[in-house]
Structure 1
């Protein structure tokens, strides 16, 4: 007898459904983190760098 057959609720969507929900939930915080990181990179280059280092950061963010 499989003791784990009741571990999954019957309304579960399976592994691919869980993966899709996780991606959908992680998209918004991940995008926000990327925007904040980009803002921080630009801010530090403007504050402490020169125009050439700022251009390098902008080029890196575009890639």
Structure 2
């Protein structure tokens, strides 16, 4: 946790799978994650990791969501 926020980071090593994921994608990927994180008042970053592979990081506020102005 960082100053009232929950930070979740997922990385991989960049090695390619030789077998397809069971059941295909079945999801909305980064677009769906970005929408969900935004709806919770958070921030999503995704891109190549410095060490190779890929990194996705979400930062979410802790506590009750506040009313958001539009």
Q: Is the pair's TM-score, using the shorter chain for normalization, greater than 0.5?
A: no
More helix by share: 1
Quick one: higher RCO (CA 8 Å, sep 6+), 1 or 2?
2
More strand by share: 2
Q: Which has the larger radius of gyration?
A: 1
